[in-house]
Amino acid sequence: MDAGRKFGYSRVSTSDQDWSLQLDALIKAGVDDRDIYREKASGAKRDRTELRRMIDQLRPGDQATVYRLDRLARSQLHLLQIVEEIEARGAKLVSVMDNIDTSTATGKMVVGVLAVLAEFERNLLLERSAAGRAIARQRQTRFGRPPKITDALIRQVMLAHDDPATTVPETCRILGISRSSYYAALRAGQREAMEPAEAA
């Protein structure tokens, strides 16, 4: 592969004003100052104009250079997506301080490890999301519209209503329902109880 053009990407957070360390390292790595894209943004922010501009410039044989990998992204998943896009353009990624070059065997191995970590991170996110929903269900947190008056709810309300020691507020708290739902279920249960009597 012919030696292509070297581009650099430098990012500082909104509170950090000092570019010099990154810029000096990129220039020493052979990047022309005019080909360094400078961004002032959080690493967690995905929509970064200057990073997008640099990636769009890449052609087969080119090199995208960063001071450290954390200048590109904060999560393994996002970093892997950026690395894959650079590689898909036929370019390579070089991280000066991490001593990583994705065109070498060691660099390819690092990308492979990154892919495993990104998959691990993706699975953790999915597990956390599922666990959060399960805990909310256990706590009877309601998602979306209020619950419908089901047969099970009617039975529970009727049993509670028939027990003089059980108060309406206590029943509502235990079942995770409002007073209006309680009385709606009670009315439904009383109607059902009257229907067989009327039929007889």
Residues belonging to the active site: 13
Q: What is the DSSP string of 51-85?
A: HHHHHHH--TT-EEEES-GGGT-SSHHHHHHHHHH
Largest CA distance in the chain: 96
- In angstroms, the CA 8 to CA 99 distance is 15
Whole-angstrom Cα distance, residue 161 to residue 165? 9
Kindly tell me the number of DSSP H helices and DSSP E strands found in the chain.
7, 5
Question: What is the DSSP pairing of strand 63-66 with strand 6-12?
Answer: parallel
Q: Is 116 exposed, middle or buried (0-12, 13-18, 19+ CB in 10 A)?
A: exposed
Task: Determine the residue type at 168.
Answer: V
Amino acid at 9: Y
